[in-house]
């Protein structure tokens, strides 16, 4: 930095620097002049100060380059934020799918027998789409209606090429009267692949509980006949065994078929578990 | 006692529907529809007759709600 005479301002320096200045004078003489403590401009000139009390730079980057740098920094920050957000979302989805997988295995379990007497568990239906209905064979009107609707929905889906088959399933809420033979007789009138399940009262109660089914046998008459009051729903289970949807009395067979088709379209298999069960 | 077959169910429903149509025609005057009532009772299990009677009451009540609206019963002594 060139030596400056005391009366001219030194750019960039907030405070004066005092030092002794010696400059050559005619031979033999020296003169030391202390610098003044403040930078005052030479008389006549306006003070050059910025907001921070500093004198502004005379030259810097042009505006367009500064905008470019600012834009690049903003872009990088935005990209980082998006990637972090994406990562967080992926982690959340992975956690969710792990929860769903655990739920698919544990939820909605049943151990019953079909109308041929063969033991059937929920795991036996892994890999299949299932439409499940709880009812009883002595049902006056609701169960035949709902089973008719269920059968029709399955038929509609069968007619569409490229869709996986749907397994229609019936579980009784009246184990006392609905044994394998009774189920066989009753279900003959509906879809040919409709499978009926029954078991001991404890097994049937456990199955109903797993699906939050309400069932309450009414008073018996002198013939020992009674009607079981029960909740009316058709449940859709996915190939992982996960409960996906349910359809009440207001839904038609077409509504059900349409909904099942939509679920099939958006279905993504849950990840495999350690012992190799992957829903196949 | 085994459950009614599909044919028996349809026969029961048919006789129920005939009886109900008669009641609709005669403003629920059961005395005008006695023959159909007997047919209905013979074709359907006793439990189903009771069930369908209750169902008819419910359907009529529902219709009344839909056409006339809901009028809460007057409760004496309650604010």
Q: What is residue B74's predicted lDDT score, i.e. its pLDDT?
A: 72
Find chain A residues with C-beta within 8 A of B4's C-beta: 138
Query: Considering only residues 36 to 65 of chain B, which have any Cβ-Cβ distance to chain A shorter than 8 Å?
Result: 44-48, 51-52
Chain A nearest C-alpha distance from B62 (Å) = 16
> Which stretch of DSSP H or E encloses residue A273?
none
Considering only CB atoms, A225 lies closest to which of B9, B47, B52, namely B47
Residue A59 burial by Cβ neighbours in a 10 Å radius (0-12, 13-18, 19+): exposed
**Residue B22, SS3 per DSSP:** helix
| Whole-structure pTM value | 0.70
Candidate from A141, A189, A225 with C-beta closest to B46: A225
pLDDT of residue A5: 53
Alpha helix positions (H), B1-79: 6-25, 34-43, 46-68
Give A203-269 as a DSSP string. Answer: HHHHHHHHTT--EEE----TTS---EEE---EEEE-TTS-EEEEE-TT--HHHHHHHHHHHHHH--P
Q: Which residues 6+ apart lie within 8 Å of A21 measured at CB?
A: A3, A5, A6, A32, A33, A35
Q: How close, in Å, is residue B45 to chain A by CA atoms?
A: 8
pLDDT value, residue A226? 95
> pLDDT tens-digit profile of A219-229?
999 989 999 99
Are A195 and A93 spatial neighbours (Cβ–Cβ below 8 Å)? Answer: no
State the residue for tokens 């655990």. Answer: A102
Report pLDDT for A89.
Answer: 92
Q: Which residue of A has its CA nearest to B4?
A: A138
Question: For A104-143, how does the pLDDT look when each residue is reduced to its tens digit (9 = 90+)?
Answer: 666 888 999 999 999 999 999 999 999 999 999 999 999 9
More confident residue, A47 or A258: A258
Q: Which of A5-9, A49-53, A67-71, A90-94 is least confident?
A: A5-9
Given an 8 Å threshold on Cβ–Cβ distance, is B6 in contact with A226? Answer: no
- A137 to chain B, any CB pair closer than 8 A? The answer is yes
Q: Does A246 show up as a binding residue in the annotation?
A: no
Contact A144 B9 (CB under 8 A): yes
Nearest chain A residue to B44 by CA: give it.
A140
Q: Give the ipTM.
A: 0.85
Quick check: A207 and A224 in contact, CB under 8 A?
no
Partner-chain residue, chosen from B4, B44, B47, that has the shortest CB–CB distance to A226: B47
Residues 194-233 in A contacting B (C-alpha not used; CB under 8 Å): 218, 221, 223-227
pLDDT of residue B1: 73
Residues in a beta bridge with A31: none
Contact of B75 with chain A, judged by CB distance below 8 Å, is answered with: no
Q: Which of A140, A185, A226 sits opposite B2 (nearest CB)?
A: A185
| Residue A59 pLDDT exceeds 70 | no
What would the DSSP string read from start to end of A5-38?
-TTSPPTT-SS-----EE---STT---EEPPPSS
Percent of chain A surpassing pLDDT 90: 63
What distance in Å separates residue B56's CA from the closest CA in chain A?
A: 13
- Per-residue pLDDT at A274 exceeds 50: no
- Backbone phi, psi, residue B4, to 5°: -60, 145
A148–B contact, CB cutoff 8 A: no
According to DSSP, residue A204 is labeled H
Q: Backbone phi, then psi, for A267, in 5-degree steps? A: -75, 135
Pairing of strands A111-114, A119-121: antiparallel
Asked if the Cβ–Cβ distance from B47 to A144 is below 8 Å, we say no
Instruction: Work out the pLDDT band at B13, boundaries 50, 70, 90.
Output: very high
- Tell if the CB–CB gap between A225 and B9 is shorter than 8 Å: no
């Amino acid at each position: 930095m060139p030596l400056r005479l005391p009366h001219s301002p030194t750019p960039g320096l907030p405070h004066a620097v005092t030092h002794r200045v010696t400059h050559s004078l005619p031979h033999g003489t020296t003169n030391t002049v202390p610098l003044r403590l403040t930078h005052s401009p030479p008389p006549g000139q306006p003070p050059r100060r910025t907001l921070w009390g500093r004198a502004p730079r005379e030259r810097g980057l042009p505006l367009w380059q500064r905008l470019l740098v600012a834009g690049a920094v903003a872009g990088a920050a935005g990209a980082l934020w998006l990637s972090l957000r994406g990562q967080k979302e992926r982690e959340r989805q992975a956690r969710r799918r792990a929860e769903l997988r655990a739920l698919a295995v544990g939820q909605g379990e049943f151990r019953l027998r079909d109308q041929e007497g063969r033991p059937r568990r929920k795991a036996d239906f892994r890999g299949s789409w299932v439409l499940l209905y709880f009812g009883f064979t002595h049902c006056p009107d609701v169960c035949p209606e709902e089973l008719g609707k269920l059968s029709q929905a399955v038929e509609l889906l069968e007619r569409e090429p490229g869709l996986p088959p749907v397994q229609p399933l019936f579980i009784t809420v009246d184990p006392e009267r609905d044994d394998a033979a009774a189920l066989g007789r009753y279900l003959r009138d509906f879809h040919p692949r409709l499978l009926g399940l029954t078991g001991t009262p404890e097994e049937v109660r456990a199955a109903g509980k797993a699906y939050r089914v309400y069932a309450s046998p009414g008073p018996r008459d002198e013939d020992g006949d009674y009607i079981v009051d029960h909740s009316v729903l058709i449940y859709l289970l996915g190939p992982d065994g996960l409960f996906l949807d349910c359809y009440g009395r207001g839904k038609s067979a077409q509504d059900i078929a349409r909904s099942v088709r939509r679920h099939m379209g958006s279905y993504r298999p849950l990840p495999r578990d350690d012992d190799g069960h992957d829903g196949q | 006692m085994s459950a009614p077959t599909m044919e028996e169910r349809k026969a029961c429903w048919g006789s129920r529907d005939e009886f109900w149509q008669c009641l609709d025609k005669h403003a629920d005057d059961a005395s005008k529809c006695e023959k159909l009532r007997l047919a209905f009772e013979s074709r359907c299990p006793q439990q189903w007759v009771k069930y369908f009677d209750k169902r008819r009451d419910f359907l009529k009540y529902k219709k009344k709600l839909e056409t006339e609206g809901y009028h809460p019963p007057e409760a004496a002594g309650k604010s």
